Structure 1
Amino acid sequence: MSNDAAVVLGSHRAQLDRINGQLVDLLAERMQLCRSIARLKSAHGISMMQPQRISSTLDLVRSLSSARQLRPDYVDRLFRLIIDETCDEELRIMASAAKDEG
């Protein structure tokens, strides 16, 4: 049966692999942009934490999720993880910039 599964599912799995690669590429692109934002925040004395931006981002992705047949709580959890990692990276960049200035 496993040989049949490989044959039956092969093209779908190949599509999933392609999409997974695109998702990783998009996450990398997003993180690069967030690194640039962290440097701008640091250079202009802007607070790293922007709670209103996080809220508006989560509101947006939740609203987009339903139209795309995704459960809003699934997308919310995913983006909270992405945002948490972004905040950690911004903190590292901004701490490093502050250390270099001091």
Structure 2
Amino acid sequence: MVADRLTELREELDGIDGRLLDIIRQRIECCVRIAHHKREHNVPMMQPHRIGIVQNRAAEYGSVHGIDQDFLRRLYTVIVDETCRVEDIVIADPTAC
């Protein structure tokens, strides 16, 4: 019975992970659209104030929901670093993505 419950919980976790990965993919796809817009309108890729807004919003979410704020800031640092990398590629070559 213990093993059955553990299997059920792991299946639940696998489903959550699948949704999380889908959301990350959707976020990157949105950033590609943002990069195309920035390129078309000559807007610089880097928007430092926006990074702070996103990280602070994540930290506030953590505070409300009992998730470590520093963890969420670090997580968003990784996510933002990747989306900036993708935006750089798109801005340099709009046919890349």
Q: How does 1:56-75 map to 2 (within 5 A)?
A: 56-75=53-72
State the structure with more CA Rg.
1
Give, in angstroms, the shift of residue 5 of structure 1: 5.2
TM-score by length of 1: 0.88
The ranges of structure 1 where at least 4 consecutive aligned residues each deviate by more than 6 angstroms after the TM superposition are none
Other-structure match for 1:100: none
Q: How does 1:7-86 map to 2 (within 5 A)?
A: 7-86=4-83
One-letter code of the match for 1:67? V
Q: CA RMSD in A?
A: 1.1
One-letter code of the match for 1:41? K
Equivalent-residue separation in structure 1 for 2:84 and 2:2 (angstroms): 41
One-letter code of the match for 1:63? E
TM-score by length of 2: 0.92
Q: 5+ residue gaps in structure 1? A: 98-102
% same residue: 34
Q: Aligned pair count?
A: 94
Equivalent-residue separation in structure 2 for 1:30 and 1:53 (angstroms): 15
Give, in angstroms, the shift of residue 11 of structure 1: 1.1
Can you list the C-alpha shifts for 1:39-73, whole angstroms capped at 9, x where unaligned? 00000000000000001111111011111110001
Equivalent-residue separation in structure 1 for 2:83 and 2:31 (angstroms): 7
